Structure 1
Amino acid sequence: MFYRLWTPEHPKGLIVFVHGAGEHSGAYCHIAMECLNRHIAFAAPDLRGFGQSEGKRGYIRHFKDYLDDLDELIIQLQIRYPGLPIFLFGNSLGGLIAIRYVQQFRDKVAGVILSSPALGIRLKLPYFMRKLIELVSLLAPAWPVEFVKWNETLRKLKWLQAHLPNWTSEMLEDPQATIRYTPRWFTELLRNGTKALSEVYQFQSPMLCIYDRYDTVVNAKLIEQFVDSVAIGEKECFVYDKGSHQLLHDGEVLRHIFQWLDTRFLRSKYIVD
């Protein structure tokens, strides 16, 4: 698994950032640079099948493979930075991976930051279509579907524009972006979104969640349900109404994130003079 690592001279903490679907770690260098300015180490892997990591594009045999890859990286970082508090930060697909990781690998991280976690998609698929996708996932799990190109074609229909992502055109220009997905990837995404909600009681880490109630990609109501259901008292949530899925280039959003982190670092007594 390919990953990028930025390390200040005397880090007070470490963020492990997990990108969203189609993305790669290089898209978040601006957060890494801000972390360096704040004496925070920043590690960002490319998920398998994305960016510069190995694996068939947009394919995963089992969702747990993402979690095992992430755990292997976190173990390496714990050895490299003994005693340093590690915070897991996931965006969209990465947010769902962060949730499932904490639910299955407890006490590995000091806290979790979720940005628009993909607990479900906003577009409501008819029952028969979901079953058809599940069937294709069994019969042809690695069959490639160029979702991004489909999305850009459908967006030419004005009546559909408000219901489809408006940022996929940028992926067509990025040689490291993933524009192909497979039925197995899609079914694993939906299944684990459902599992994340049904196993919410296993989520025991301090949490900051940020999302948009009018998100055009993920189901914001499911995010609200998840946050409300998390039993731990150390949780904080910021909800926006800008109709955006990509929030991590917004200065206000980043200020909320680093304010939350500063509070956690103070509690962990990792303060840089």
Structure 2
Amino acid sequence: MSTDPSSNPAASGAAREDTFATNDGTELFYRQWPARSGKPKGAIVLLHRGHEHGGRVAHLVEELGLGDFTFYAWDARGHGRSPGERGYSPSFATSVRDLDSFVKHICETGGFAIEDIAVVAQSVGAVLAATWVHDYAPRIRALVLASPAFSVKLYVPFAREGIWLWQKLKGQFFVNSYVKAKFLTHDPARIASFDNDPLVTRAIASNILLDLYTNAERVVDDARAIIVPTQLLISGSDWVVRHEPQHRFYENLAHPLKERHVLKGFYHDTLGEKERAIAVAHARRFILACFDAEPAPLDVTNAHQTGFTRDEQDRLSSPHDLLSLKGLYWAIYRSSIRFSALFSKGLKTGVETGFDSGSTLDYVYENEPRGMGPGGRLIDKQFLNAIGWRGIRQRKLHLQELIGFALARLRDAGRTTHILDIAAGHGRYILDAIAKADVKPASVRLQDYAPINVDAGRKSIAERGIQDMASFHQADAFDAEQLTAIQPAPDLAIVSGLYELFPDNALIKRSLDGLATSMQSGSLLIYTNQPWHPQLEMIARALTSHRGGEAWIMRRRTQAEMDQLVAAAGFKKIDQLVDEWGIFTVSIAERT
């Protein structure tokens, strides 16, 4: 067993050991240290480094000197006393969702509001925390990140590319850490405990290592979407991770309450270093300052007028000189799409109706390559396998999951189950979801503005023989008065793939206000968002929209922005799902 008292939970006072259930039913282990005061001021969540477990951050419970707070430390999936193959998780996104489940469990069982939560995380745990705050936009009070592993030093040339290729050829495998404990910390006790701790694992699954890189790059580049107070502790002599992404992450952070401290001579185990009292003092002061002040979330509901996503949209809207290299490149790219549309059914549908149209999305949902001959089908397969379309299909699965959840919740609450989808396209995703749901709705009203979608939707309803339950209407999703007058009033309203197409938040507010007015307390809203996309420029420069063939230029909404718009209309977010690439989210909220 470990000989280092700082890695022994018992050394930090009595710890209660328990488990919580993740979204997929896995029971993960965690420790809890109750606040010494009668009523805790808040909760502090401790996230350990990769290869380690919650016991190795237990010393912080005493050293932070925050006796008025309840502390929690988990063993991440595949680590410590939690189940799973050592060093493995199905995906990095799975582990991020595990963290979301953990914090929800803490709030539910401890009686904490999300604003009462602070997170202190190190290395891989810090990347998990940063990704969670970016993708799920929780309104936590404070975030302290110590030496986040945004870019691990693999030292071997082309190691990352080699791992990717080997996984592609042979499937998922494990990589053993090369780092010796003496390069993690100067503390002899920590070195000895690391070497002798049977719960420390050297292995990390190849898929997690690759996911770590890709998610870290996304979060660092898009850190302006993070709007919670954040402190960054950087080890000055880190052998394990690179400094540059940490500094870039800090520079991109949006919240005005942010701090960066470079700790001279510190190795990678920042919070387990010999002189860690320096780092711990910074974290303690920052957390107390955040809790001593009232929660002051950054308002981003006007990001369509001023903000980095508006700037991004403006850049994408600015044309290139046709004779410039970029202008020529995109002109050739657009020509190649029109030429390929002669052979590919999917590209032809996109060119004719717009790549954001209901017809194109319906084709993407079908996911059956079609075209002129084998070559046309091959082009169509490549089109359907684009990462954006894969995300769309995953969004459909997440919609099905939350629609089923919503119907069951309404039934269990003794409520009616009238569904309204204000922009259903062809209606395939919702009709498929209803067919798979255990609870069938009392009625389904589908709407869309485009006659072609209404006709296709009515045909689909007739083919399924559900005319007694479902109907399709032509209507404007942004007409608040029309939404307010809908009867029966919806118990479950769905807005999928609509708000992402319109950059102006005034439109979104009008639509949400109309829905909120029509819905009673306890009714549910399912809404989608697109906080990030790896192909924004290609879409803007090469693809056309359903609006008269004009360029399809999107303004991303951060998850925080979308959630704030929903909250302002009178809804409280309950849960959220996101694909493994962080492109599309599906959330559910309750009318309050």
Report the TM-score range of the alignment, normalised by the length of the smaller protein.
Answer: 0.7 to 0.9
Q: Report the Cα distance in structure 2 between the residues aligned to 1:82 and 1:216, rounded to whole angstroms.
A: 38
Q: Report the Cα distance in structure 2 between the residues aligned to 1:90 and 1:51, rounded to whole angstroms.
A: 16
Indicate which of 287, 290, 296 corresponds to 1:264.
290
Q: How far off its partner does 1:242 sit? A: 0.6
Aligned residue for 1:158? none
Q: Report the Cα distance in structure 2 between the residues aligned to 1:13 and 1:231, rounded to whole angstroms.
A: 24
Q: How far off its partner does 1:104 sit? A: 0.7
CA contact (8 A) 2:49 2:122 kept: yes
Provide, for residues 89-148 of structure 1, a one-character-per-residue CA deviation record: whole Å limited to 9, x for no partner: 110001101100000111341221100011101345533x3222002223444423332x
Q: Report the Cα distance in structure 2 between the residues aligned to 1:139 and 1:49, rounded to whole angstroms.
A: 24
Q: Report the Cα distance in structure 2 between the residues aligned to 1:218 and 1:63, rounded to whole angstroms.
A: 18
CA contact (8 A) 1:35 1:41 kept: no
Aligned residue for 1:178? 201
| CA distance 1:236–1:165, shift in 2 (3 Å) | closer
Per the alignment, in what secondary structure is the counterpart of residue 10 of structure 1?
Answer: coil
Per the alignment, in what secondary structure is the counterpart of residue 255 of structure 1?
Answer: helix
TM-score (norm: length of structure 2): 0.41
Matched to 1:194, the amino acid is E
Q: How far off its partner does 1:207 sit? A: 0.4
Q: How far off its partner does 1:237 sit? A: 1.2
Per the alignment, in what secondary structure is the counterpart of residue 181 of structure 1?
Answer: strand
CA contact (8 A) 2:66 2:284 kept: no
Higher relative contact order (CA 8 A, sep 6+): 1
Verify: 1:252 aligned to 2:278, yes or no: yes
Aligned residue for 1:39? 68
CA RMSD of aligned residues (A): 2.3
| CA distance 1:235–1:194, shift in 2 (3 Å) | same
TM-score (norm: length of structure 1): 0.86
| CA distance 1:110–1:243, shift in 2 (3 Å) | closer
CA contact (8 A) 1:18 1:95 kept: yes
Q: Which runs of at least 4 in structure 1 moved beyond 6 Å after TM superposition?
A: 166-169
Per the alignment, in what secondary structure is the counterpart of residue 145 of structure 1?
Answer: strand
List alignment gaps of at least 5 residues for structure 2. Answer: 1-27, 296-592
Q: How far off its partner does 1:53 sit? A: 0.8
Indicate which of 105, 110, 125 corresponds to 1:94.
125
Verify: 1:217 aligned to 2:243, yes or no: no
Q: Report the Cα distance in structure 2 between the residues aligned to 1:121 and 1:237, rounded to whole angstroms.
A: 20
Indicate which of 19, 31, 40 corresponds to 1:11.
40
Aligned residue for 2:222? 199
Q: How far off its partner does 1:230 sit? A: 1.2
| CA distance 1:172–1:35, shift in 2 (3 Å) | closer
Matched to 2:74, the amino acid is P
Aligned residue for 1:130? 160
Q: Report the Cα distance in structure 1 between the residues aligned to 2:179 and 2:141, rounded to whole angstroms.
A: 38
Q: How far off its partner does 1:252 sit? A: 1.4
| CA distance 1:236–1:223, shift in 2 (3 Å) | same
Q: How far off its partner does 1:255 sit? A: 1.0
Count how many residue pairs are aligned between Structure 1 and Structure 2. 257
Indicate which of 131, 145, 155 corresponds to 1:114.
145
Q: Report the Cα distance in structure 2 between the residues aligned to 1:151 and 1:113, rounded to whole angstroms.
A: 24
Aligned residue for 2:25? none
Q: Report the Cα distance in structure 2 between the residues aligned to 1:199 and 1:176, rounded to whole angstroms.
A: 35
Q: Report the Cα distance in structure 1 between the residues aligned to 2:171 and 2:56, rounded to whole angstroms.
A: 28
Q: How does 1:13-162 map to 2 (within 5 A)?
A: 13-34=42-63, 38-80=67-109, 81-83=111-113, 85-127=116-158, 129-147=159-177, 150-152=178-180
Matched to 1:236, the amino acid is E
Q: How far off its partner does 1:10 sit? A: 1.8
Per the alignment, in what secondary structure is the counterpart of residue 175 of structure 2?
Answer: coil
CA contact (8 A) 1:141 1:184 kept: no
| CA distance 1:12–1:165, shift in 2 (3 Å) | closer
Q: Report the Cα distance in structure 1 between the residues aligned to 2:267 and 2:65, rounded to whole angstroms.
A: 27
The worse-fitting range, judged by mean Cα deviation, of 111-120 and 2-11 is: 2-11
CA contact (8 A) 2:221 2:249 kept: no
Q: How far off its partner does 1:236 sit? A: 0.9
CA contact (8 A) 1:114 1:210 kept: yes
Q: Report the Cα distance in structure 1 between the residues aligned to 2:251 and 2:64, rounded to whole angstroms.
A: 29
Per the alignment, in what secondary structure is the counterpart of residue 174 of structure 2?
Answer: coil
CA contact (8 A) 2:263 2:279 kept: no
CA contact (8 A) 2:231 2:258 kept: yes
Per the alignment, in what secondary structure is the counterpart of residue 54 of structure 1?
Answer: coil
Larger Rg: 2
Q: How far off its partner does 1:225 sit? A: 1.1
| CA distance 1:206–1:138, shift in 2 (3 Å) | same
The worse-fitting range, judged by mean Cα deviation, of 93-102 and 81-90 is: 81-90
Matched to 1:184, the amino acid is N
Q: Report the Cα distance in structure 2 between the residues aligned to 1:201 and 1:222, rounded to whole angstroms.
A: 14
Q: Report the Cα distance in structure 1 between the residues aligned to 2:71 and 2:84, rounded to whole angstroms.
A: 24
CA contact (8 A) 2:86 2:204 kept: yes
CA contact (8 A) 2:150 2:245 kept: yes
Q: How far off its partner does 1:247 sit? A: 1.8
Q: How far off its partner does 1:61 sit? A: 2.4
Q: How far off its partner does 1:33 sit? A: 2.7
**Paired-residue identity, %:** 25
Q: Report the Cα distance in structure 1 between the residues aligned to 2:88 and 2:171, rounded to whole angstroms.
A: 8
Q: Report the Cα distance in structure 2 between the residues aligned to 1:33 and 1:18, rounded to whole angstroms.
A: 16
